[in-house]
Amino acid sequence: MSDAEPPTAESDDAVAAAFEVVARSAPQIRGGLAGRRGKTDGRNASGETQLAADVWADDLLEERLTAIEGVGQFASEERDDVVDAGDGEYAATVDPLDGSSNLQSNNSMGTILGVYDADLPAPGNRLVAAAYVLYGPITTMVTAREGEVTEYVVENDGSRRAVREDVTLPEDPTVYGFGGRVPDWTDRFADYAREIEDELKLRYGGAMIGDVNQVLTYGGVFAYPELQSRPEGKLRLQFEGNPIGYIVESAGGGSSDGETSLLDAEVEELHQRTPVYLGNEALVERLEARF
Ligand code: AHM
Ligand code: MG
C-alpha cells in the first residue's frame, strides 16, 4: 500500500485492525520525521514541549484508530482528553512518538499502542492487546495478545513479516538501562542499581521502546524509577507503563511500579505518571524486595 492510500480500518476484529493501522502507519510516520524535528508552541498534558512530529503522528493515529469499528474511545499522551469515537467496546491509547527527544540527535524512537476493553482511564488488567513499533535501523513491531508475543519487520509498504514468534525473555539476562539523573535517584533504587551494575552491562538509549526492546532481545531490566524530585517517576501509566508492562509480562517477564505489577496499579487519571520497572522476573522481584 502506498502512502497516498490510508490504511483500511475495516475488520470485524478491532484488535487486529488496530495492529494493522499501526503497522501500515509506521513507514509513513518514519518518512515524515525528517521535516518535523522542530518544536511547536504547544505543551502536552504532562507539561512537555511538543515537537511537530509528536502532534503530526498523534493526528494521523487518531484519525485512523477512531475509524475502526469497535473502537469507542481514543486517548493519547499528546492530547488532554479522551476522544469519543462512537459505539465500540474497545478503547485505543497511543504514545505516538515515544522518546521523541531522540529526534534531535537521530536516535531510536517508538510508537506504543494499548487496546483496553474498558472506559479510559483504565487499569492495565483491562488491556486485551498492546503493541509497539521501534524506529531503529530497521522498523520492527512487537505485538502481544492472548499471551502471545510476536516480533515483525515492517516493510516500506506497511506489510509485516514475522521474524520472532512466541517471544520470551532470554533466561540469562545481560543488559540494563535506568533513566533519571543518578543524584536524583532514591537511596533504595540506588542500592538496587549498584547491585545490577555489577552483574549486567549498561545500555541506555533514552527511548523506552529501544531500551525495552533490547531487554526482550537479550534479557535484563529497564527502569525509569521513582526520583527524589518526583516520586511518581516520569512515564505515563496509561500510554507507556501499562502497554509495555503487558507486553513484557506476556513474554514471561515481570513489571512493577515498585510495589505491584504495573497491570494492577490503581489508575486515577488519564495522564498519571508511574515509576516503571520491567524485565526478567527475578530482577524485578529483587527490586520489589528492596522497596
Ligand atoms: P516521551 O514519550 O515524551 O518522549 O518521553 C518518554 C521517554 C521514554 O521513552 C524514556 O524512557 C524517557 O522519556 C527518557 O527520559 P530522559 O530523557 O529524562 O532520560
Ligand atoms: Mg513516551
Helices (H), the chain: 14-32, 52-66, 187-199, 208-218, 242-250, 281-290
Say which residue the cell 499502542 belongs to: 113
What percent of the chain clears pLDDT 70, i.e. is strictly above it? Answer: 96
- Ligand 2 centre distance from Cα of residue 97 (Å): 6
**C-alpha cell belonging to residue 11:** 475488520
Tell me the mean pLDDT in the region 65-81: 97
* Residue 95 marked as a ligand binder: yes
Name the residue type at position 116: Y
How far is it, in rounded angstroms, from Cα 226 to Cα 180? 9
Rounded mean pLDDT of the chain? 95
Q: Which CATH class is domain 175-288?
A: alpha beta
Q: Is the CB of 101 under 6 A from ligand 1?
A: yes
Q: How far apart are the first and last CA of the chain?
A: 50
* Residue 204 marked as a ligand binder: yes
The residue extents of the domains of the chain are 14-164, 175-288
Kindly write down the DSSP assignment for every residue of 106-138, as one continuous string. T--EEEEEEEESSPSS--GGGEEEEEEEEESSS
- Dihedral (CA of 122, 95, 260, 279) sign: positive
Q: Is the CB of 100 under 6 A from ligand 1?
A: yes
Cβ(21)–Cβ(154) below 8 Å: no
**pLDDT, position 1:** 34
CATH architecture of the domain covering 14-164: 2-Layer Sandwich (3.30)
pLDDT single digits (tens) 191-245: 999 999 999 999 999 999 999 999 999 999 999 999 999 999 999 999 999 999 9
